[in-house]
Amino acid sequence: MWNSIWHLRGSVELEPETTNEDALTQIESLLSGQMKVISSAGEDFIEFGDSWRFWFGPSNRGLAMAVYDQGRFQIDDRGAGKIVQYDLSSLTDFLFCLLGACVFFAFASAGSSLAYGAKIGTFAFAWLYGINMILARLRIPRAIRKALGS
């Protein structure tokens, strides 16, 4: 349950005539456009991983997959059709936002009570991480479907 906080999982159905090679090429193009570094690939999967590039690399603000630092796209043949399953991870962003919330908690607690600090820290985390995740969960499936022509 806990890892669902920093994971985004889903699937996209492929058109019947789409080959694995075509789908992986489209996913690779998507990842390139999202400034993701491909770490490994096979005949039915592609993975990316660039944990610290988000913080120290070139600006990728405005990109749908900006907060996700690792991911895997897997093509599954289901007999009647193929689907692309994806599993994206934003653990680095989660931890960074948690650290930011702790800083807000510390400052608010120092100037007032622990209860007030906890409220401010919780609000800061919900704002920092929650807004990013809401936007990502709306934008990423659409970007993947668009890349795959679905």
CB-CB contact of 68 with 47 (8 Å): no
pLDDT of residue 2: 67
Distance (Å, whole) CA 71 – CA 144: 13
pLDDT of residue 51: 58
pLDDT of residue 78: 79
pLDDT of residue 5: 75
The overall pTM is greater than 0.85: no
What are the mean pLDDT values of the chain's consecutive 10-residue runs (150 residues total)? 78 90 94 89 90 55 80 88 92 86 92 90 90 88 89
CB-CB contact of 30 with 147 (8 Å): yes
- Which amino acid belongs to residue 13? E
Largest Cα–Cα separation, the chain: 63
Distance (Å, whole) CA 110 – CA 106: 6
Phi and psi for 73 in degrees, rounded to 5? -115, 125
pLDDT of residue 123: 93
pLDDT of residue 43: 92
